[in-house]
Amino acid sequence: MAAGAPRIFVSHLSGVPVFDPNGDQVGRVRDLVAMLRVGGRPPRLLGLVVEVLSRRRIFLPMTRVTGVESGQVITTGVVNMRRFEQRPTERLVLGELLDRRVTLVATGEEVTVLDVAIQQLPARRDWEVDRIFVRKGKGGALRRRGETLTVEWSGVTGFSLEEHGQGAESLVATFEQMRPADLANVLHHLTPKRRAEVANALDDDRLADVLEELPEDDQIEILGKLKEERAADVLEAMDPDDAADLLSELPEDDKERLLTLMQPEDAADVRRLLSYEENTAGGLMTTEPIVLRPDATVADALARVRQADLSPALAAQVYVCRPPDETPTGKYLGTVHFQRLLRDPPFTLISSVVDTDLPPLRPDASLPDVTSYLAAYNMVAVPVVDESGSLLGAVTVDDVLDHLLPEDWRETDFHAQEVPGGR
């Protein structure tokens, strides 16, 4: 664990208020959602069940939590208001793990779980269940008389998933450490029934990452077997350009229905991408590059580049623009490359190191134009700017490669392998 990373017992989180970055209360924590894993590994904490002011219970992913301290939880401000529905691989920490009878590995003695501690992993936004607070002796009226102790997760049995069995729960846990492309490989070779079971068991972010790596036919098949609200959630979790590519293959009625179910800001980005021709800079770009104002510092830029969920291509440079900071931005001023950020003191203003020599592309630039630009200037991403000078997005080299390779490249590169719990 990270040095100094706080360990938090979940009983202290029950009922605490949840605030957005402006200090407005979103709701209160009612439970925590964790995913059990095979091999005695500590469960991963997926998120919080939050009861909002309307008394609806929603799911708040831990990736949207920026602080857990002083009796409060702080979010990024982006909250999906759809009602929480528990999935097969998920366990409610307060509702299902506490008060359970488990066994101490060291002595074989049965104990009662009184509390569970969570802790954030070093240099990441992931959280895990860290320790278990237990009481010896029988439950019921005598439970208060037993000795209490805190043990590592691996110090007890009675929680973890079994290694065998056909359930998607165990299969998903087995695949957890795979890269999205490798898990997509596995899914591609499962039967349609099994593929749907595993897709249903994956959380939204994980399924979104895997969908982005699957052949088009598999994407459409999996999306079509999800409940429409779940499908909209997964589309929101995908990169906007990948979501637009997938939606463009659906019938018009299905596409419009899913866009209507998506959060308005996410749907707006996807609709904008769908308005461009497929093999143009506008159709290829992502609408979520790193955008900074000219009065930002090198330290600010490096903090943004370090974000774990950024692809290497998007993290290779930041784009300097006048407000607003969201695409379409104010006037595009230029680019600052990652290497330049490493060469200048942290307090240096971005405006003093911006590269204004490289011209941006227009959204109607063709795929050969984009390819030639990346090759000529040895770039991994290129800014896309409209006629008014606003930054619309950026095209990355991986998006270009997807369109240069044969249409079936994902399928021809997928090699069948023995799959645990498969056919």
Quick: pLDDT tens for 252-271: 999 999 999 999 989 999 99
Predicted confidence at residue 420, as pLDDT, reads 43
3-state DSSP assignment of residue 135: strand
More confident residue, 176 or 137: 137
State yes or no: pLDDT of 225 exceeds 70: yes
**3 confidence band (pLDDT: 50, 70, 90):** very low
State yes or no: pLDDT of 233 exceeds 80: yes
More confident residue, 247 or 410: 247
Lowest mean pLDDT among 4-13, 90-99, 359-368: 4-13
Q: What stretch of H or E contains 274? A: helix 264-274
| End-to-end alpha carbon distance in the chain | 38
Predicted confidence at residue 143, as pLDDT, reads 45
Other beta carbons less than 10 A from residue 39's beta carbon: 10
Query: CA 235: distance to chain centroid?
Result: 12
3-state DSSP assignment of residue 198: helix
State yes or no: pLDDT of 28 exceeds 70: yes
Q: What percent of the chain clears pLDDT 70, i.e. is strictly above it?
A: 87
State yes or no: pLDDT of 409 exceeds 80: no
**321 confidence band (pLDDT: 50, 70, 90):** very high
Is the CA virtual torsion 206, 383, 393, 255 positive or negative? Answer: negative
Please write the tens of the pLDDT for every residue from 96-121.
888 888 899 999 899 989 999 999 88
State yes or no: pLDDT of 72 exceeds 80: yes
What is the reported pTM? 0.67
Opening angle at CA 418, ends 414 and 423, nearest 5: 100
**177 confidence band (pLDDT: 50, 70, 90):** low
More confident residue, 309 or 351: 351
